[in-house]
Amino acid sequence: MPEGDTIFRAAQTLHRALAGSIVTRFESVFPALNRIDHDRPLAGRTIESVSARGKHLLMAFSGDLVLRTHLRMHGSWHIYRPGERWQRSAQDMRIIVQTSRFVAVGFNVPIAELLTSRDLSRHKELQAIGQDLLAATFDVDEVIRRLRAHDGDAIGDALLNQRIVAGIGNVFKSEILFITRTDPFQAVSALSDDDLRRIVDESRRQLNANVLTRSQTLSPAFGRRTTRSLDPSAKLWVYSRGGKPCRICGRPIQARKTGLDARLTYWCPQCQPSRSG
């Protein structure tokens, strides 16, 4: 699943390309979108903004319509000039939003719906999202409160829960817990408020750093870096490095599937010791 920095940058890129322009073509494979487009055509509307809310992309059109998309594991948005050859197969196209200058194509987008502002205010999934790590109004105390409500969860699983805090995916989860020297399988209850604040602060620092330093591309994997190393082969501390030596102590990095989705967690048992012994 794309991480918060990827969604945030995608929203920025789409906003720069599309905001203020008039839709000249809208196309979708989703029947529900097409029914709304038939009754309330998107063509002719102005794209007012594109923003991120957690891992949701919200494209707002004049006349009180908002396109919500969630990319899940394999979805992506691409920007092309009219007539430019797509980098993905047309069979993967799910949504097209075209203006006179650009064509935004949603490939393999699994979730999409058109909503009014009233719908947005009542949307259960959107309203349940925790504090967005990249939001200017971020409240660390609220995140700690929500973490405490999940005291029995492993901290690694809790960080992936978008209802607790929005924006962390599997890569950043492993990296943040390594940087803060936290055992990913430690229960939240075993960590102090200071520990949790340190983890949350590092999460916010890492996501913001990757938004600011990475090239403006919609690719979810391009250039993510947590080590500050300029070596292109040393971008990450532990993620996807199972069996390789820890960059700090040399002990082999471990990997284990955890949580309901059996997602891989990477950690160094030497640098991230369990407090339970």
- In this predicted structure, what is the pLDDT of residue 126? 85
Kindly name the residue from 198, 235, 263, 269 that is annotated as catalytic.
263
**Would residue 3 show up in a list of annotated catalytic residues for this protein?**
yes
Q: Is the pLDDT of residue 217 over 60?
A: no
pLDDT in tens, 37-64: 999 999 999 999 999 887 789 999 999 9
Kindly name the residue from 3, 175, 184, 225 that is annotated as catalytic.
3
Highest mean pLDDT among 128-132, 135-139, 151-155: 151-155
Q: Is the pLDDT of residue 71 over 50?
A: yes
Closest CA to 118 of 64, 162, 176: 64
**Would residue 145 show up in a list of annotated catalytic residues for this protein?**
no
DSSP string, 130-179: -EETT-TT--HHHHHHHHHTTTTSBHHHHHH-TTTEES--HHHHHHHHHH
The answer to whether residues 177 and 184 touch, using CB atoms and an 8 Å cutoff, is yes
pLDDT category, 221, cuts 50, 70, 90? very low
- In this predicted structure, what is the pLDDT of residue 2? 61
pLDDT in tens, 163-198: 999 889 899 999 999 999 999 999 999 999 999 999
Kindly name the residue from 9, 53, 55, 204 that is annotated as catalytic.
55
Where do the domains of the chain lie, and which CATH numbers do they carry?
Answer: 4-128 (3.20.190.10), 131-267 (1.10.8.50)
Q: Comparing 114 with 274, which gets the higher pLDDT? A: 114
